[in-house]
Structure 1
Amino acid sequence: MKFPISWFIGLRYTRAKRKNHFISFIAIFSMLGIALGVMVLITVLSVMNGFERELRERILGTVPHVIVGERAQGVTDWKSLEQQVLQAPDVVAASPYIDSTAMFKSSYAGTEYGILQGILPEKETKVSVIEDYMISGSLNELVEGEYGVILGAAMARNLGLWRGDKVTVLVVEGSTVSPAGISPRYRRFTIQGIFETKSELDSRVAMIHIADAAKLLRKGDKVSALRIRVHDVLNAYMTSNYLRANLGEDFWVSDWNRSQGPLFRAIQMEKTMMFVLLTLIIAVAAFNIVSTMVMVVTDKQADIAILRTLGASPSTILKIFVVQGSINGVVGTIVGVISGVALATNLPAIVKFFEEKFGVSVVPGDVYFIGFLPSELNAVDVTVITAVALLMSVLATLYPAWRGSRTRPAEALKYE
């Protein structure tokens, strides 16, 4: 295979020693700048991917992926509805629940307001990850007739309660109406467990057995709705649309995009803005390539004139300097990708080492919803970053190379 003369000379210029060491200095720093920009961009996006993954697993694991209910007051035959729902594509499990606003009263620290949920423990564990975040007790300890309750950690702290303590639950739904007014229904429950997801659920949700909730709220055999878990949570809207089309107008269907969608759209917007801002680091390094190549073209005026005299066309001269300048970007990009992938892959272990070594906490567990720095390397992100860095590097060489191709041999050799 015949090697193009422009590539040969361009690569030769890259390896050649220069009389002006300042040009070599700028060239090295332009490569380092591109490498640093690529490395930082890969690492930061990997950390943001990690936070998004943890947020998705914790929040979307605790909230229903899809909810189905009757437009009338409550679902009268939830078992029949469950059978229909389980036949829908991508549906993994379904669980009935009863919910109502309630007030939780403690004899130690006043009252808290929140949501009281009646659940079937054996089915709830299939549609929710609450069981994975139990710090005391278990969902399976909720037994019909024993009036046990499971509280979020924040609510338990605010009430000054722990497992085994008593809490009084007051509800308005199902209350007795008399000439004297509305008499709320109340019942003392024993705390059987406490969960902590590091989300708002910890401060506003309490769970009891669905049969106890039906008695307290006078629901009879009705439930509020069905909670549904799907295989692909990001495509829950497709399952929602399918159920909406097949169940009929007597039922309503909702999915997590209505309640949590804005949060994840905000995360995607932050990732986009972070990508744009950190790309400016690569752009600054690319400007250094422009400066380097302008000085190289000036330094090589005599060489350009000789090449033109020997028959080299302006396009050949342009390609020579594009090849020479692009080498800086290619080397910097390769170094940046290798170092960025290595850093992003080992970042949690590196951060943990420094935390143990110096006794500091980079991601405090009492501030954030996790106590470690997550990282998730995404091949698409690496590919896009690599392509952007290479494109900027090539574009940065075009103007200086064009200036070199416009050199007039007679004028360049005039004072040689």
Structure 2
Amino acid sequence: MFQPFELAIGLRYTRAKRRNHFISFISLISMLGIALGVTALITVLSVMNGFERELRQSILGMAAHATISAFEGGLDSPDAVSELASRHPEVIGTAPYIEGEGMARRGGTLSGVLLRGIDPAQEPSVSIVGDRMVAGSLDDLMPGEFRLVIGVELARALGLAPGDKVDLMIPQASVTPAGLTPRFRRFTVSGVFEIGMYEYDRSMVYMHIDDAAALYRLGDRVTGLRLKLSDMFAAPRISREVADELPGFVYVRDWTQQHANFFKAVRTEKLVMFVILSLIVAVAAFNVVSTLVMVVTDKQADIAILRTLGVSPGSVTMIFIVQGAVIGLIGTALGLLGGITLALNVENLVPALERLFNQDFISGDVYYISELPSDLHWNDVIKIALLSLALGLLSTIYPAWRASRVQPAEALRYE
């Protein structure tokens, strides 16, 4: 008795057992449709957030937040440049590197690789490769020993294990009495890493920076310096400030210049998936429209009696808005429960399904990562809940308006 009149009648219509069971069935389908749409939206957006997080960690864990390089011929005096760059308070790590492309050969098997010469003492300050070793260590890379650390997928492709020999060829020629021959050197595999990103695990090869300098005949020069920043999202600003402090002609690039388009594409895909999956909720909302239209038709006599008792058209409108809102609220609540539960457990559910069906759903040689991650963002959950509730309320406007237009005399003529 303490409830508002329209709310009480609307809840009574929602709870009441209808004579027309078909209307009850359509109401149930509407609730389940909204719940399914909300569940799908939360789960898919959480998975896409997980993809973006894993890609950012993998790419920026192997690539650099920023790099300093010479325009041509290599960077002279890398120690002096590193000292100047480290003076910036937001530069938390620097490491020199030598980079180039090559070909790895073992027996009759060849594979293209990306060669990177590193200083094992400084590399952990700018990359995660030292933490992802499955065999050996970066400290095994000793100058003059010509040892390699390779990715796990490359090791499988060439059949390599720590202690095995592998030939590396680079696209630079050596002049010999027999003419020009490709430059190559035999290395020993001393370690294997696994980043979890197929592109790096299949093609990246590490060696000591002194061995790389000897192979590429760079002398004391290096390709450049890699920087790790305290805030990677401030990389453009920090890169400009570091460049202003460096003498001579150097080229400073940050990760947003190298990988910005990739992350923009991921965000665009996320937006498109949000719009597409929102259509599921919209279709369920149309079911609410049809449900309420049938309820209005079924309750015309009740509406007419209420009107004769002095109930205004606005109150009749609110009664059916309440009824439709309850359907949307219940469907949204069920969807939130299912979506949050699924998003929090999808990382365990997918491997279980792969084992059950003996099928690899996320193939590493097709996708950038080999596992299905999930990262639930509560702002996405709130956004989806508000969207679902808004669509539910919008779907009640026409049926409620139609109910308010019922004429008591017409409705009661044949009663």
Shift of 1:371: 5.0
Shift of 1:156: 3.8
Kindly provide the amino acid, as one letter, of the partner of residue 32 in structure 1: L
CA–CA distance in structure 2, aligned partners of residues 390 and 201 of structure 1: 44
Asked whether the equivalents of residues 89 and 239 of structure 1 are also in contact (C-alpha less than 8 Å), the reply is no
Shift of 1:360: 5.3
CA–CA distance in structure 2, aligned partners of residues 23 and 283 of structure 1: 19
Where do residues 137-176 of structure 1 align in structure 2 (5 Å cutoff)?
137-172=136-171
* Secondary structure of the corresponding residue to residue 53 of structure 1: helix
Q: 1:358 to 1:219 in 2, by over 3 A?
A: closer
Kindly provide the amino acid, as one letter, of the partner of residue 51 in structure 1: F
Shift of 1:284: 1.4
Kindly provide the amino acid, as one letter, of the partner of residue 289 in structure 1: V
* Secondary structure of the corresponding residue to residue 122 of structure 2: helix
CA–CA distance in structure 2, aligned partners of residues 370 and 70 of structure 1: 33
Kindly provide the amino acid, as one letter, of the partner of residue 5 in structure 1: F
Shift of 1:180: 8.0
Q: Deviations over 1:327-375 (max 9, x none)?
A: 1001110111012111211223334445556655544567655554322
Q: Deviations over 1:102-123 (max 9, x none)?
A: 33343x1244443322110111
Shift of 1:324: 1.2
Task: Give the root-mean-square deviation of aligned CA atoms.
Answer: 2.7
Asked whether the equivalents of residues 109 and 160 of structure 1 are also in contact (C-alpha less than 8 Å), the reply is no
Kindly provide the amino acid, as one letter, of the partner of residue 394 in structure 1: L
2:91 aligned partner: 91
CA–CA distance in structure 2, aligned partners of residues 104 and 361 of structure 1: 28
1:196 aligns with 2:232: no
Asked whether the equivalents of residues 297 and 404 of structure 1 are also in contact (C-alpha less than 8 Å), the reply is yes
2:323 aligned partner: 324
Q: TM-score, normalised by structure 2?
A: 0.90
Shift of 1:380: 1.5
Moved more, 290-299 or 223-232: 223-232
1:77 aligned partner: 77
Shift of 1:399: 0.5
Asked whether the equivalents of residues 34 and 332 of structure 1 are also in contact (C-alpha less than 8 Å), the reply is yes
Asked whether the equivalents of residues 100 and 115 of structure 1 are also in contact (C-alpha less than 8 Å), the reply is yes
Q: 1:39 to 1:196 in 2, by over 3 A?
A: same
Asked whether the equivalents of residues 99 and 118 of structure 1 are also in contact (C-alpha less than 8 Å), the reply is yes
Shift of 1:2: 6.9
* Secondary structure of the corresponding residue to residue 220 of structure 1: coil
Aligned length: 414
Shift of 1:36: 1.5
1:131 aligned partner: 130
2:232 aligned partner: 233
1:345 aligned partner: 344
Asked whether the equivalents of residues 35 and 332 of structure 1 are also in contact (C-alpha less than 8 Å), the reply is yes
Q: TM-score, normalised by structure 1?
A: 0.89
Asked whether the equivalents of residues 198 and 369 of structure 2 are also in contact (C-alpha less than 8 Å), the reply is no
Q: 1:59 to 1:217 in 2, by over 3 A?
A: same
Where do residues 219-230 of structure 1 align in structure 2 (5 Å cutoff)?
219-230=218-229
Kindly provide the amino acid, as one letter, of the partner of residue 349 in structure 1: N
Moved more, 385-394 or 371-380: 371-380
2:211 aligned partner: 212
Shift of 1:34: 0.8
Moved more, 111-120 or 287-296: 111-120
Q: 1:278 to 1:302 in 2, by over 3 A?
A: same
2:62 aligned partner: 62
Where do residues 4-403 of structure 1 align in structure 2 (5 Å cutoff)?
4-106=4-106, 108-172=107-171, 182=180, 184-197=182-195, 198-247=197-246, 250-355=249-354, 361-363=360-362, 372-403=371-402
CA–CA distance in structure 1, aligned partners of residues 217 and 353 of structure 2: 56
CA–CA distance in structure 2, aligned partners of residues 177 and 371 of structure 1: 44
Q: Deviations over 1:291-328 (max 9, x none)?
A: 11101111222222233333332222211211111110
Shift of 1:272: 1.8
Q: 1:207 to 1:398 in 2, by over 3 A?
A: same
CA–CA distance in structure 2, aligned partners of residues 169 and 361 of structure 1: 33
Q: Which runs of 5+ in 2 are unaligned?
A: none
Asked whether the equivalents of residues 69 and 75 of structure 1 are also in contact (C-alpha less than 8 Å), the reply is yes
* Secondary structure of the corresponding residue to residue 198 of structure 2: coil
Q: 1:40 to 1:85 in 2, by over 3 A?
A: same
Q: Deviations over 1:176-207 (max 9, x none)?
A: 56898655543322121223333223343322
Q: 1:2 to 1:80 in 2, by over 3 A?
A: farther
CA–CA distance in structure 1, aligned partners of residues 364 and 251 of structure 2: 39
* Secondary structure of the corresponding residue to residue 121 of structure 2: helix
Shift of 1:234: 4.2
* Secondary structure of the corresponding residue to residue 167 of structure 2: strand
Asked whether the equivalents of residues 153 and 198 of structure 2 are also in contact (C-alpha less than 8 Å), the reply is no
CA–CA distance in structure 2, aligned partners of residues 156 and 200 of structure 1: 13
Kindly provide the amino acid, as one letter, of the partner of residue 221 in structure 2: K
Q: Deviations over 1:126-170 (max 9, x none)?
A: 211222333322211101121112223444444443321222333
CA–CA distance in structure 2, aligned partners of residues 344 and 114 of structure 1: 37
Kindly provide the amino acid, as one letter, of the partner of residue 187 in structure 2: F
Asked whether the equivalents of residues 198 and 370 of structure 2 are also in contact (C-alpha less than 8 Å), the reply is no
Kindly provide the amino acid, as one letter, of the partner of residue 412 in structure 1: A
Q: 1:129 to 1:312 in 2, by over 3 A?
A: same
* Secondary structure of the corresponding residue to residue 121 of structure 1: coil
Q: Which runs of 5+ in 1 are unaligned?
A: none
Asked whether the equivalents of residues 198 and 365 of structure 2 are also in contact (C-alpha less than 8 Å), the reply is no
Kindly provide the amino acid, as one letter, of the partner of residue 311 in structure 2: A
